[in-house]
Amino acid sequence: MAKEKIQDAIYTRRYIYNFHYHLIWVTKYRHQTFSTKELVDEMKDILRMVAKDNEIVIEKMEVMPDHVHVLISFPPSKAPTSAIKALKGRSAFIFLKRHPEIRQSQYWGGHL
């Protein structure tokens, strides 16, 4: 007797999963950091790169001037907190390293 496959589930050697997390985070003090199309596109590219490095699948993503929305999925072997930390922390580090003028003008503490 063959078992039916679960629709939209991801089958691996160890487990079957279908996790989806909708994350929303805002910039510090709600500064309009991503005010141009170039900055929005750069942040999207950074998020895709960080997600790829950490085995996270970004299903949907939107970068607004003062906040970011992502719908992500990742294997159950990864803790949700580590996935969130990787996306938020690493992307902010890379973005602010590329744009020291934003760090100086908007974020005196150096945090996005």
Q: Which pTM value belongs to this model? A: 0.87
Helix or strand or coil: residue 112? coil
Bridge partners, residue 16, by sequence: 11
* CA–CA dist 31, 26 (Å, integer): 9
Report the CATH architecture of 13-102. 2-Layer Sandwich (3.30)
Model confidence pLDDT, tens digit, residues 82-100: 999 999 999 999 999 999 8
Residue-wise pLDDT for 29-80, tens only, equals 888 999 999 999 999 999 999 999 999 999 999 999 999 999 999 999 899 9
